[in-house]
Structures are given as structure tokens and as C-alpha cells.
Chains A and B, each alone.
Chain A
Amino acid sequence: EVQLLESGGDLVQPGGSLRLSCVASGFTFSSYVLNWVRQAPGMGLEWVSIISGNGDTTYYADSVKGRFTISRDNSKNTLYLQMNSLRADDTAVYYCATKRVGTNPFDYWGQGTLVTVSS
């Protein structure tokens, strides 16, 4: 059974930093592209970032480019999102989601971790 478990969400002040983690099990971790998707309270889904199976290729939404860094440790089956210079509009539930290589949708999602940016 595929499982994705996010952690690291917290209350942080504007301008602060936070690192999210997503631990995976139930599939061959290094074979999957991984994503972060967020959802602000009461709002829709917003794709944040994507990373290739070996970690060499990454892309970001314009809203987080230069502030967030996605990475992965395939030896630990773990995906990360380093978030710096946090702003109030980064407040959201952050989900990790898997995607098979190629033109494919997001197969599996974690339950999410809440990040609140507020003073």
C-alpha cells in the first residue's frame, strides 16, 4: 500500500523558514517524480514544485521561485521542501503527491501538513 506522510508544518512568523518532509512507503521511491501541492484555507489546489526521480531536475511555481527549494533523499524515501522568506499568503496545507514518469497525473497524495505564517 502506498503511503505518504508529511510533517514539519508549524506556525512561523513572516520572513521565517520551515522545512517540510514527506516520508514514503509502498512503492519504488526513486522511480517516481514527486510534487508539492498546497491549498490555502477554503481555497483550491495550487501546484508548488516538482522533482525528478534522481533529483536532478526541479521546477517551481512562480509564486515560490527563489524562496522554496525541493529536494529528495532516495536512501531515506523522503521528499523535502525548504521554505524561506515565508509570507502570509504561503499559509496553506501542503501535500506531497506522486507522479509516474512521463505524461501522467498525480497518483497518490499524502494527508498534508499545515503551515501558518502569521505574527
Chain B
Amino acid sequence: EIVMTQSPATLSVSPGERATLSCRASQSVGSNLAWYQQKPGQAPRLLIYGASTRATGVPARFSGSGSGTEFTLTISSLQSEDFAVYYCQQYNNWPPLTFGGGTKVEIK
């Protein structure tokens, strides 16, 4: 099983600032890495797939990078609607399909 580890668990950021979230895989997943956003009481929403491709309708301030075992989600200028929990997921080697533990982006 591929273990996904996200850091930090919580990130406190002021609106307008940049946020950088990390995700590490226990073994290489190539570029088969997705990021999801989840707001309270809502279902997760696909943001990034293929490590760096934005899903339909996702603003350009969201960007993903990395390959192999190290990945980053960057939000260039945080808007109020971006405060949420973000999960990474590998879909390269399954079953099982595995998620990271999440990073909560909160208002500083």
C-alpha cells in the first residue's frame, strides 16, 4: 500500500498571501497524483490531477507540481473561499487508492 503523507496538518495564512501545501508518497506514483478541496459540510472537489493539470473551472491561482514521491499544491493569493481542507490522492498503484491525511488552510 502506498502511504500518502501531507504537511503541515494546519496552515494559517492571511488573505492575499501564498499557501504552499506538501504531499509525499511512500513510493513513486509518477504523476498520478490528484488534489481535492473540501469545505465544511461539502463533498470533496477535484482541483488538480496529473500532478499539475487544473480540473475544469478551477482558478489559475491553484497550481500543482512534482512527480515521483514529492508534490506541492500552491495557492498563489488566498481568497476567502479557499479556506478549506486539501487532500492529495495517488491513483497510480491500487488497490487501495490512498489519500493523504489532509491539510487545513485556515485564516491567520
**Is chain B found bound to chain A in the same assembly?**
yes
Say whether A109 contacts B45, CB under 8 Å: yes
Interface status of A88 (Cβ within 8 A of chain B): no
Interface size on B, residues (CB 8 A): 24
Give which listed residue, A45, A103, A109, contacts B91 with CB less than 8 A. A103
SS class, residues of chain B in contact with chain A: loop
* Residue A55 at the chain B interface, CB threshold 8 Å: no
Q: Determine if A61 and B95 form an interchain contact, defined as CB atoms under 8 angstroms apart.
A: yes
**Neighbouring B residues of A95 by C-beta, 8 Å:** 43-44
Chain B residues with CB under 8 Å of chain A are 32, 34, 36, 38, 42-46, 49, 55, 87, 89, 91-92, 94-102
Give Cα distance in the complex from A106 to B94, angstroms: 13
Those 4 A-B pairs whose CB atoms lie nearest each other, nearest first: A105-B34, A59-B95, A109-B43, A47-B97
Within the complex, which residue of B38, B46, B101 is in contact with A105, where a contact is CB–CB below 8 Å?
A: B46
- A37-81: CB near B (< 8 Å → 1, else 0) gives 000000011110010000000011110000000000000000000
Collect the chain A residues with CB atoms within 8 Å of residue B44's CB.
45, 95, 106, 109
Question: Could you tell me which A residues sit within 8 Å of B by CB distance?
Answer: 35, 44-47, 50, 59-62, 95, 99, 103-112
CA distance A107 to B89 in the complex (A): 12
Name the residue among B43, B44, B92, B95 with the largest chain A CB count within 10 angstroms.
B43
Given contacts A45-B36, A60-B95, A110-B43, 14 further A-B contacts (CB under 8 A): A44-B87, A44-B100, A44-B101, A45-B87, A45-B99, A47-B95, A47-B98, A61-B95, A62-B96, A105-B49, A106-B44, A109-B43, A109-B45, A112-B43
Q: Quick check: A61 and B96 within 8 Å, CB to CB?
A: yes
CA gap between A61 and B98 in the complex, in Å: 10
